[in-house]
Amino acid sequence: MRFTKKRKIVITTMTQHKETIYIGADHRGFEVKKEIIEMLREMEESVIDCGNTVQDLDDDYPDFAEVVAQNVSQNSGKGILICGSGIGMSIAANKVPGAYASLVTSPESAEKTIVHNEGGNILCLGVDTTPKETIKEIVKRWSQAKKTDQTPQRYKRRQEKIKMIEKKFCEQ
């Protein structure tokens, strides 16, 4: 594990049988994150809280986006990031190779991040733009969505193109 000097942000490396959900939030998403963690644990999901662990009005969303995205990429898990709009978190998380973050505002879109975009591995949520009950429905639908062998070839082809773009620019 590694801790940053400014805040206790945990980077974990582990092998798990059940896909782990890494979750992080800045001060705007802090309270909703606590509720989502409780809900996921009631659903018997494996959840690791990547911070923030205290309400800190001076925290910065890129810190949590990086930690969650790195854990998801290195450990083949899934991630949830929560902030005011979800936009900054998705931008920051998508800078980490192997992280494919999507800003989601509806349960239908949440399911499509898994079913249509097999690589979609991080869910980004905005508490200022999406009602809390909708956020909970989004998380439930997303956590229950399954990748399928029946994924149409066109979705697989598109996902491969995204990976090729990532590889091309990460090698520079």
Summarize the confidence of residues 149-160 as an average pLDDT.
79
**Catalytic positions, written as ranges:** 83, 116
23-57 per-position pLDDT tens digit: 999 999 999 999 999 999 999 999 999 999 999 99
More confident residue, 129 or 154: 129
- Domains of the chain, first to last: 20-170 (3.40.1400.10)
85-140 per-position pLDDT tens digit: 999 999 999 999 999 999 999 999 999 888 777 678 999 999 999 999 999 999 99
HSE (CB half, 13 Å, CA atoms) of 151?
20
Q: Does pLDDT of 11 surpass 80?
A: no
- Looking up tokens 């798990």, which residue turns up? 16
Determine contact, residues 49/81, Cβ cutoff 8 Å.
Answer: no
Summarize the confidence of residues 80-85 as an average pLDDT.
98
Q: What is the pTM of this model?
A: 0.86
Determine contact, residues 32/46, Cβ cutoff 8 Å.
Answer: no
Q: Does pLDDT of 9 surpass 80?
A: no
Query: What is the longest distance spanned by two Cα atoms in the chain?
Result: 46
* Residues whose CB is less than 8 angstroms from the CB of residue 63 and which lie 6 or more positions away in sequence, other chains included: 4, 6, 7, 9, 26, 51
